[in-house]
Structure 1
Amino acid sequence: MAQHYLEFEKPIADLEAKIEELQALSETTGSFEAEIEALRKKANKLRRDAYANLDPWKKTQVARHPQRPHLFDYLEGLITDFVELKGDRQFGDDQAIVGGLGRFRDRPVVVMGHEKGHDTSSRLTHNFGMARPEGYRKAVRLMDLAERFNLPVLTFVDTAGAYPGLGAEERGQAEAIARSTERGLTLGTPMIATITGEGGSGGAIALAAANRVLMLEHSIYSVISPEGAASILWRDGSRARDAASAMKITAPDLVELKIVDRIIQEPEGGAHSDREVAIQTVGDVLEDELHALEGLSPGELRAQRADRFYAIGRLS
């Protein structure tokens, strides 16, 4: 897969293009090993410096990176014996949310999340991760199953928001999101949500009403997209950068506001730069968090979850 560079990564892209040119020349005109090594060190330093000083808008770009690991990557890297369960038993199956049963490091779990797709065909199949009502009703069905068989629930959140189409609204989009959020809050088994890319609006919280909410270092989590906020506040979508800075959508801000519990560090250059390391790091943190919730009764899990969410926004 060809490397996709973001706007602020252009100097890195230029250096890496020069490295490729020298490597090609080395095959025909002699060795340029010293020059290549010097350029590689310079590119690594540029990448390290760039990712150490990302502003909220740049983090938004990284969170949306097309090569960032998506749900299927986490399923492949962390879940064995996965069996997908489809449909909401009312209308149909929504592929923006995929879920089922599997084993996480030999522990049976219910796992679900948003899938955006990785190319044009899969993005259309999964509707770019924007779920319709039947997706959230499927999530409720899976949480019911988890409680019935006393299984932990792992969710992976990555969506710009719920799908706002006419058909979705006619079938009760807002009610479906509310029911999924409510089911998360009332679940009697451990639930851990991980924001892996974008956590947008009610479409995200419907899968993130959990005991623990984790967030990758360069992900975002907000009630509306920066572009949407800019359009409402200033009637100018081009001011998305200003909105991103004002909205407190990055992991450090959200931990300080007690909306997110823990930040998961990403590889240097973002999760897309070393997908395998990023996925295994998420797995290690999930294992640690699941262990911490072991032994809590259903009542204690519900109380902990309620206390956590009722505390959001309190000033004292």
Structure 2
Amino acid sequence: MSGGEFDLIQQCFVSKASYSHAHTVVGNGDDASVHGLAENEQLVVSTDMAVQGVHWPDDFPLDLAADRAVCAALSDLAAMGAKACWAWVSVVAEDSDALAMMGLGVGNALNRYDVELSGGDTVHAACNSLNITVAGIVEKNTSMQRNKAKVADNIWILGNSGLASLGLQQWFSGHKDADFVESFSHIEPKLKQGNLLREMGVRCCIDVSDGVLQDAGHISKASQIAMQLDVEKFPDWQRLSEKLGDEKAMQAMLSGGEDYALLFTAPANMKGLDKLATCMGVCVPGSDVQAYYQGEMIHVVKSGYDHFASK
């Protein structure tokens, strides 16, 4: 692919992401974008990075890598219960072909979830990476947050836990068509489900990107409560315990990240949640997250992913 930077931006990004949002006043192509909000709406904004060799393997298709990077960013909006509207995507590419493939993935993801590309930037450098900022709207003062859990709330999970990390292991071992690989390669941000949970009255939620224990810990710390999890109630427990054995299944479900499930709490009397999610714990007085198996507290060697943890 040939052309200058601005021609490449048009070819690789603007032409691929076609959705336009009604709240946009000034869209992509100016120095900045301008967006309007209704009086009863609030803006929800999140930013994320994805780097080759860190967030995806070096031999992973770049279009899928960019697609999943956008979806991972959108998952933060799902955790707040927001309607996703806009994205600003900056890409570092090693050459124009890499830029084209990442542009294809970005466009595919944004079009799939009706999100407008509102701006971005491109840089030619040695390491392929993306910086993605996403924004959405939510009804005023109804966003779901980490600090809203209460003692006696039930703990729920909407989505899978552990499958993506197992899929990544299978990819690294050369089994690129194995049963869990798609759980890593194809992320589904739970946007509709997050919005529905918010409308039902759920006020505490987080998306599981770094592992259930790690992300539950963020709720525990922000809400100043303890959380007790029963691994046998996780939605994939039976399947994984039979395939991997109990110990490896626990490690994957509690510490494996990248599944982008929604972990949330709700009062025990809230109706209808069992049609959407799986109840697998309870909030209690205290300040930590404990996992239990057959009534006994278990110890997990690694609680989740941390970019700056000691290796």
Q: TM-score, normalised by structure 2?
A: 0.26
| Higher Cα radius of gyration | 1
Q: Which one has a larger percent helix, Structure 1 or Structure 2?
A: 1
Q: TM-score, normalised by structure 1?
A: 0.26
